[in-house]
Chain A
Amino acid sequence: MTFSFLQVALICLTYLAVVFTLAYCTDMGWVSERLVAHPVTYIFSLGIFASAWSFYGVIDLARQYGYGALAYYLGTGALFLFGAFALKPLVELARRFQINSMADLLVFRYHSHAVGGIVTLVMIMAMAPLLSLQMQAVADTIHLLTRDHHKTTGVTWQGFDVRDLLALIYTLVIALFAMMFGSNREHQRGLVTAMAFESLVKLFGLLAVGIYIVYHVFGGMNGLDNWLSTHQEALQALRMPVQQNSSHALLLVFIATAVSMPHIFHMTVVVNPRKHISDTVSWAFPLFLLLMALPIFPILWGGKALELSIASEYFPLAIPMATGSSVFTVIAFVGGLSAATGAMIAIALALSTMILNHWILPATSLRSQNDIYRQIVWLRRILITAVLLGGYLFYLSLHNKFGLTELAIPAFVATLQLLPGVIGVAHWSRGNRKGFIAGLTIGGCLWFFILMLPMLLGIQSITLPYVDRPISVGATQWANVTMWGLGLNTLVFIVISLVTKQTDDERYSAEICSEDELSHPIRLALDVRSPDEIIARLSSRIGVSTAKTEVASALERLALPPNESRPYALRRLRDEIEANLSSLMGISMASEILDRLVPFKVPETHGATDINLIESRLGQVRNQLTGLAAELNNLRLYHRRTLEELPLATFSIGQDMEILMWNTAMAKLTKIPTDTVSGSHLKDVASPWGRILHLFAISTEPHLYKQAIEINDKRRWISLHKAAIPSSKAQQFDGQVILIEDVTELQLLEQELVHSERLASVGRLAAGVAHEIGNPVTGIACLAQNLRYETENPDIIETADQILSQTDRVSRIVATLVSFSHAGRQSAQDFQAVSLRACAQEAINLLSLQKEKPPVRFVNQLPTDLTVFADAQRLIQVFVNLLSNSRDASPTYGDIIVAGERHGAYVEFSVTDYGSGIAPEYIDRVFEPFFTTKEPGQGTGLGLAMVYSIVEDHQGTLDIVSPAHLDTQNGTRFIINLPANLATQAAKSNTSLPQ
């Protein structure tokens, strides 16, 4: 039973059309998100691991190695089973640094462009046979299907027949698919879904063929058992080769494939799933492999039972054909086709990325004026086509000389040479680039000259000079080449790494890659101050629009504002841009661009640990810490919280003045949240804090007392104290811890005390002066009086009157002084309940008698029932002083309003005028004795001082509001609060018993 070329072409194109449609629909968002993001989709997409070789070639492997063939699945399965240990470090690295190929990973770890170039070369040489294997499988199966039609077509040109033409068309269609869905970062989803679909198809195909064979050829499981019991040699063939030494070489080769094969690395590490999926993968992918491996032996035995003359690798297709089942023939063909397609696409993508990143981009400079994304996408498209066509040419050059297994094993052995370097990435930080390159060169040369080249040239043995015995070479020696190549590679890697030194850059990368990555991230300094500066610098190399896009996306990912200026945030921004660029153009280009345009400055002092980075990383891995690390982390958290919740404003800075810690009290005092300030330079902290804190930090004084600082137009006083944080190195310091004390309350109390003390001393002085001046003035007045009566001379009488008038004035001043100095001496026992309204009214009446003053309107709005405990006479004096002051300030016929009300235990009353108000600079001084703004002779400056003194005697408070009327910006309001009942009075009345 055979098919025509047209039918086969139709099957191929229909299948490819389905894959195209699925990828396109996923990209357009027409496929349900639940399906696309489902773990099963990702697990199936990993199934590209199983290429056409695992569909066909593995049957031949089973024939040769029996159970040893299972190593192909068991090795990879084991790697995923222990994924947490084996793959996780690589996956984490790839996620963090946007590593998108094996070469990128090795370049990142060994910090060398040469590594990228050599790894790419090894990969191309290794993948060439694997790529041609896929094409050969497709071409051979087409050939098988169309066996009977070969003579009829007869189109051949130098051995180039229709089969090869179909393979070429197929290659071109696949190139088109890979260009459409694989060349762009945005189209990965469509690719993953298409790969998953292909894996599903091939799994279904292989299982269906296996079941078909068991039930159709053997008549069920019992039939198979019966056949096996009569064909003991088949069972023997299963077991015997396992005891030979090539089986463990097979296991080794296949363990390495999941890590070293570029296309599998691409799907495992680059197209990376979310965390919970990677846990599921650890058991689900081995299960997928188990299902793929299950039909191998029944298919092999089916071919033997039918005594097929065809190569055993094509049994999956040949058996349904031989038994005349067209349905299962098509299923098997499409299964194999899908296996080849998936592998070809993934290999083409992985290789093109490597060639672009490690060969093309370092050698050429992109034109930065143009759209860089477009240039890269087109370059990648060209490379994808070139890789696939290169693979096709290689396939043509082989002329179908080799079986699938013969092609596959050299490919696996070649990629195995990368294993020592890959292990060194996460598990041996001492390994260096010299060791890696030397080991890889030795292993690679051994592979090429002993295995690959003789195989291509058909040489079986070579004779070396000075060696008598010929040395066997070629495909049959693959196990020896594997062991010797890998052994020498590893040995050279270890020895050279141990005897040579790593560079600083390489050690830094090695530390980042090593599992103990929290070792000591060093705080490097950047000389940029804003994201805009980064854009400006990058523009020279990647163009303005690309630079803007990359910086904006990095800012968005880190949730940073566009005007970010904190050094810590800018460092993270730089790293994020580097990671994004490396996903675009490879890590070696990205790091080269960033190192040149936005370089890190090496810190002047060693040990400038990046505390903020350590903090954020510890926060991320907190749940994974166990044992001592978890306990240390708890201790760290305890100390950190202690500092954060300390009810004293505290912060710490590094040697470079970068803020490392800013506690809650500090945030409360400065009104600057911790998140926005952490990682900033001290100078950049919002005004007025930045300047004063920076000055203090750089000064040598350990304390700075009572510094005045304006916050929201209010003056506050702070004291600063600092201590150096000792470094782990002797005689060095890591930074400073600074404590800020808010001493505003204390300062105000002190000022009030000083003011009261001054008033008291003025009072004592006044009493003394009054006493000393009073007597002579009385004498002068008496003498002047006598003088009037003893003369008739009108001039002398006039003089005497003048003297009397002046002495009268002096007496009044003296009387006021005496009265002022007596303030405070009065006992509260003299107080009684007095009506405020009555007191105010009496004062108004008294003032109304002074006709020489400009007329004003006194308005007494005090309620009649408002009483306070006070001395009525002194309260009248308060009103007289306040009202006369208000009258002096008021315009003619201006209103002066006295109002008040009770507030709990206090009575508040006020005197408000519509005068000119008090200038702000005088408000603090108006209660000082002898302070007056009136003309000389108009006032003594004692009125308000006396009011203040009386109010204080009554345990009240006095406030001034000026301007009192915000709308007209004039007027003054004196507000007095007096206790409705004096505390002493109340206590007395409550506790004293009748005598």
Chain B
Amino acid sequence: MNQQRPLILLLLLAYIFTPTLYAWVISPSGVWYKPYIIWLLVIVAAFVVQRRKKTP
């Protein structure tokens, strides 16, 4: 019985924010590397989660 609750919450967040993010990414204004910024943020989040998991 592994702990999958954070994953479900994350999927919920992804579901809620996907249209907004999608619209932001393909909007003509702004820089071309917007998808990379989102990607980087996800990696930072994963890094923080992994660090916190390791600490206890």
Contacts and interface: CB of A to CB of B under 8 A. Distances in A.
7 contacts: A67-B26, A82-B7, A84-B7, A225-B31, A276-B54, A280-B50, A283-B50
Interface string A68-97: 001000100100011011001000000000
B2 interface: yes
Contacts of A81: 42-43, 46
Contact of B32 (A243, A280, A297, A628): A297
A287 B7 contact: no
B18 to A, nearest CB: 12
B3 A626 contact: yes
Interface string A623-665: 0111111000000000000000000000000000000000000
A232 B29 CA distance: 11
A279 B2 contact: no
A290 B36 contact: yes
B1 A85 contact: no
B32 A228 contact: yes
A473 to B, nearest CB: 32
Contacts of B4: 85
Interface in A229-261: 232, 235-236, 238-239, 242-243
Contacts of B42: 81, 286
Interface string A273-294: 0001001101100110010011
Nearest to A630: B1
A515 interface: yes
A70 B28 CA distance: 18
Interface string B9-43: 00000000000000001101001110110011011
Given A85-B7, A279-B54, A627 B46 contact: no
Which label, helix, strand, loop or mixed, suits the secondary structure of the A interface? helix
A70 B35 contact: yes
Given A67-B25, A67-B35, A235-B32, A282 B46 contact: yes
Given A77-B39, A243-B26, A290-B39, A627 B32 contact: no
A85 B54 CA distance: 17
Nearest to A83: B46
A238 B32 CA distance: 8
A625 B36 CA distance: 36
Q: Which of B3, B25, B39, B42 has the most CB of A within 10 A?
A: B39
B40 A290 contact: yes
B2 A515 contact: yes
A286 B32 contact: no
A648 B32 CA distance: 75
**Size bracket, chain A contacts:** 35 or more
Contacts of A515: 2
Contacts of B47: 283
Across chains A and B, which 5 residue pairs bring their CB atoms closest together, nearest first?
A283-B46, A629-B1, A239-B26, A283-B47, A626-B3
Given A82-B7, A239-B26, A293 B50 contact: no
Contact of A239 (B3, B28, B36, B50): B28
Interface residues of B, number: 22
B31 to A, nearest CB: 8
Given A279-B54, A290-B40, A625 B46 contact: no
Nearest to A290: B39
A571 B10 CA distance: 42
B40 to A, nearest CB: 7
Contacts of B46: 81, 282-283, 286
Nearest to B53: A279
Contacts of A294: 33, 36
B1 A627 contact: yes
B2 A624 contact: yes
A242 B32 CA distance: 14
A72 B54 CA distance: 30
A62 to B, nearest CB: 11
Nearest to A89: B2
Nearest to B42: A81
Contacts of A624: 2-3
Contact of B50 (A225, A243, A279): A279
Interface in A545-559: none
B9 to A, nearest CB: 13
A554 B33 CA distance: 53
A300 to B, nearest CB: 11
B28 A628 contact: no
Nearest to A74: B39
A777 B39 CA distance: 123
Contacts of B33: 294, 297
Interface in A759-779: none
A592 B31 CA distance: 59
A283 B28 CA distance: 30
Q: Which of B1, B7, B42 has the most CB of A within 10 A?
A: B1
A175 to B, nearest CB: 37
Given A236-B28, A282-B50, 11 more contacts: A85-B7, A225-B31, A239-B26, A239-B28, A243-B26, A279-B53, A280-B50, A283-B46, A290-B36, A626-B1, A627-B1
A978 to B, nearest CB: 67
Contacts of A77: 39
A67 B35 CA distance: 8
A889 B33 CA distance: 112
A258 B36 CA distance: 20
Given A279-B53, A279-B54, A287-B43, A293 B28 contact: no
B8 to A, nearest CB: 10
A85 B10 CA distance: 13
A84 B1 contact: no
Nearest to B1: A629
A516 B4 CA distance: 14
Contacts of A282: 46, 50
A654 to B, nearest CB: 26
A784 to B, nearest CB: 103
B2 to A, nearest CB: 6
A283 B26 contact: no
Contacts of A297: 32-33
Contacts of A276: 54
Nearest to B34: A67
A136 B4 CA distance: 44
Q: Which of A236, A282, A516 has the most CB of B within 10 A?
A: A282
A235 B28 contact: yes
B39 A286 contact: yes
Contact of A625 (B1, B28, B54): B1
Contacts of B32: 228, 235, 238, 297
Q: Which of B26, B32, B47 has the most CB of A within 10 A?
A: B32
Contacts of B2: 84-85, 88, 515, 624, 626
Contacts of A283: 43, 46-47, 50
Nearest to A232: B28
Nearest to A626: B3
Contacts of A232: 28
Nearest to A294: B36
Contacts of A84: 2, 7
Contacts of B7: 82, 84-85
Contacts of B25: 67, 239
A81 B31 CA distance: 25
B47 to A, nearest CB: 4
A73 to B, nearest CB: 8
A889 to B, nearest CB: 78
A74 B47 CA distance: 17
A242 B26 contact: yes
Contacts of B53: 279
Interface string A807-833: 000000000000000000000000000
A721 B40 CA distance: 67
A571 B50 CA distance: 37
B1 A628 contact: yes
Contacts of A82: 7
Contacts of B50: 279-280, 282-283
A77 B33 CA distance: 17
Nearest to B54: A279
Nearest to B45: A283
